[in-house]
Chain A
Amino acid sequence: MSGLIKSSIARKVVMALSGLFLVIFLVLHVTINLASVVSPDFFNEASHFMGYNPLVQYLMQPILIIGVIVHFVMGFGLELQNKRARGISYVKYSGAANAPWVSRNMIYSGLVILAFLGLHFYDFWVHEMTYKYIEMNPENPTRYYAETVEKFAPFWRTIIYVISFVLLSLHLWHGFSSSFQSMGVNNKYTPAIKSFTKIFAVVVPLAFVFIALYHHLNPITH
């Protein structure tokens, strides 16, 4: 088992598993967010449940944060190791001749997503923690919709979110199906996995873009 921890294959499997875990989280996230467009009341209910359910707060949330950290730290470590493995750089390297741009630049799409997560955490998570544990405000199950819509009022934030979702799409375009290959799945189902990956990589980020633009264009007027 000690060999497993140190090996390049095991590290790739950790990247794949943490990535797939984050993909599942994305599905949950986009589903709840879509509710903010369809039914503000349901969105409030779901957000309140997520914000105050002990299982979500004290088990799922830490697991999610660990998942993000593992995926980022491992990805960054692998990238550094990969750079070292080349040694001297080529004078001419035609990467585009044999591999798509998205697959060769996962570190850059990943870094943009990470930077976005910093803003996203500041916008929502830090706000939540401050509201609940520092300001010790009472529970208010109807505040979430207004708070979310308000966040998308500034044009600059909406644009940053939209750009980040485009990079998320590129990251998923390669990463989702790639994770199956890393775990040893390459069989008759692989073409279907690749097709599903392309649909998923477009539909989910597009839904996030739609939500951000919808709230920016439909502010709450008092």
Chain B
Amino acid sequence: MKLYLKIWRQKDAETKGQIVDYTLDGVEGDMSFLEMLDILNEELVSKGEEPVEFDHDCREGICGTCSLQINGEPHGPDRLITTCQLHMRKFNDGDTIVIEPFRAKAFPVIKDLIVDRSSFDRIQQAGGFISVNTSGNTVDANAIPIPKEDADKAMDAATCIGCGACVAACKNASAMLFTSAKVSQFALLPQGQVEAADRVQNMVRQMDLEGFGNCTNTGACEVECPKGISLENIARMNREYLSATTKG
């Protein structure tokens, strides 16, 4: 199929970017979206032009590195997948595809379609961990009985790959779904209780400091999340936060 691509090109963080038009022929339906971009880049390189820079790593929906806003939606029009799992069969011959980086003040563009998502790392570092003694007498986590439902919910929250689609989709560029998933995966388990109050306060404080927007419960994040992280996590974080803060 023949596609008309409108791709955001930006030399570096300081330079103003713009949409550049490309026409790409010979795209197959069983190609992934990133393979389609690979072909475009091969063409650009063969013509001596600068290839389009985009983030990618595992290309199997695990790492959360790929991060494209495709036709106005993070990871494109399909659901519960990352950009690398999006197949070109979702598009038709002659389609125009607009490809942009994830947009948020807290996700500054580094080059072309690559954004700096280290703000997520800083939120995680602010409290997304448990302190465990690993000096040789570590207690096996499975030694602590945990209700199946809690374990399942904690595991669901832990499937967040930190790709940033929630921020990209949210009209407010809010990071509540990401932060709440990281809070929830510990809040639901006994190992997470010891540092629970500090964790939620520190992570929310860092989230606000990074300049993310406020959650207005539109639910766009949940719809666009490649791992199907639920809004229940945001409600849980709100409860955890209010409980931790009001208790002082």
Residues of A within 8 A of B (CB): 1, 3-4, 6-13, 78, 81-82, 84-95, 97-100, 103-104, 106, 174, 178, 181-187
Q: List 11 A-B contacts (CB under 8 A).
A: A1-B245, A8-B215, A82-B172, A85-B104, A85-B106, A90-B72, A92-B72, A93-B72, A99-B171, A181-B231, A184-B240
With the chains together, A178 CA to B217 CA distance in Å?
A: 6
| B238 on the A face (CB < 8 A) | yes
User: Of the 9-residue stretches B124-132, B136-144, B204-212, which lies at the interface with chain A?
Assistant: B204-212
* Chain B, residue nearest A186 (CB): B235
**Contacts A88-B103, A184-B242 hold; do A8 and B216 have CB atoms under 8 A apart?**
no
| B219 on the A face (CB < 8 A) | yes
- Contacts between chains A and B (CB distance < 8 A), count: 147
Establish whether residues A90 and B174, one from each chain, have CB atoms under 8 Å apart when the complex forms.
no
> B6, B106, B218, B236 — which one has the most chain A CB atoms within 10 A of its CB?
B218
Establish whether residues B105 and A87, one from each chain, have CB atoms under 8 Å apart when the complex forms.
yes
Q: Which residues of A have CB within 8 Å of B215?
A: 8, 12, 182
| B185 on the A face (CB < 8 A) | no
> A1, A4, A178, A184 — which one has the most chain B CB atoms within 10 A of its CB?
A184
**Contacts A3-B201, A13-B238, A85-B173 hold; do A97 and B77 have CB atoms under 8 A apart?**
yes
- Smallest CB separation, A41 vs chain B (Å): 43
Q: Which residues of B have CB within 8 Å of A78?
A: 214, 216
**Contacts A82-B213, A84-B105, A103-B218 hold; do A92 and B98 have CB atoms under 8 A apart?**
yes
Establish whether residues A181 and B217, one from each chain, have CB atoms under 8 Å apart when the complex forms.
yes
Establish whether residues A87 and B104, one from each chain, have CB atoms under 8 Å apart when the complex forms.
yes
Establish whether residues B105 and A85, one from each chain, have CB atoms under 8 Å apart when the complex forms.
yes
Establish whether residues A12 and B214, one from each chain, have CB atoms under 8 Å apart when the complex forms.
yes
Establish whether residues B238 and A92, one from each chain, have CB atoms under 8 Å apart when the complex forms.
no
With the chains together, A207 CA to B117 CA distance in Å?
A: 49
* Chain A, residue nearest B208 (CB): A8
With the chains together, A134 CA to B215 CA distance in Å?
A: 45
Establish whether residues B208 and A94, one from each chain, have CB atoms under 8 Å apart when the complex forms.
no
With the chains together, A11 CA to B241 CA distance in Å?
A: 12
- Smallest CB separation, A36 vs chain B (Å): 35
B interface residues, how many (CB within 8 angstroms): 53
| B89 on the A face (CB < 8 A) | no
* Chain B, residue nearest A179 (CB): B217
Establish whether residues A94 and B103, one from each chain, have CB atoms under 8 Å apart when the complex forms.
no
With the chains together, A85 CA to B166 CA distance in Å?
A: 13
Establish whether residues A86 and B173, one from each chain, have CB atoms under 8 Å apart when the complex forms.
yes
| B27 on the A face (CB < 8 A) | no
With the chains together, A88 CA to B19 CA distance in Å?
A: 13
Establish whether residues B171 and A104, one from each chain, have CB atoms under 8 Å apart when the complex forms.
yes
Q: Which of A13, A85, A91 contacts B98 (CB 8 A)?
A: A91
Establish whether residues B103 and A86, one from each chain, have CB atoms under 8 Å apart when the complex forms.
yes
**Contacts A1-B245, A85-B172, A97-B77 hold; do A186 and B205 have CB atoms under 8 A apart?**
no
Establish whether residues B201 and A8, one from each chain, have CB atoms under 8 Å apart when the complex forms.
no
B154-177 CB mask vs A (1 if < 8 Å, else 0) is 000000000000000101111010
* Chain A, residue nearest B167 (CB): A85
Q: Which residues of A have CB within 8 Å of B245?
A: 1, 3-4, 7, 10
A-B complex: 7 closest residue pairs judged by Cβ atoms? A94-B72, A85-B213, A186-B235, A184-B239, A82-B172, A99-B218, A87-B105
Q: Which of B8, B72, B246 contacts A97 (CB 8 A)?
A: B72
Q: Which residues of B have CB within 8 Å of A8?
A: 174, 176, 204, 207-208, 212, 214-215
| B112 on the A face (CB < 8 A) | no
Inter-chain pairs besides A92-B69, A98-B223, 11 sampled, C-beta below 8 Å: A7-B204, A7-B208, A7-B241, A7-B245, A8-B204, A10-B242, A13-B238, A82-B173, A92-B72, A182-B217, A186-B234
Q: Which residues of B have CB within 8 Å of A90?
A: 69, 72, 100, 103
With the chains together, A91 CA to B248 CA distance in Å?
A: 44
Establish whether residues A94 and B214, one from each chain, have CB atoms under 8 Å apart when the complex forms.
no
Q: Which residues of B have CB within 8 Å of A6?
A: 208
| B71 on the A face (CB < 8 A) | yes
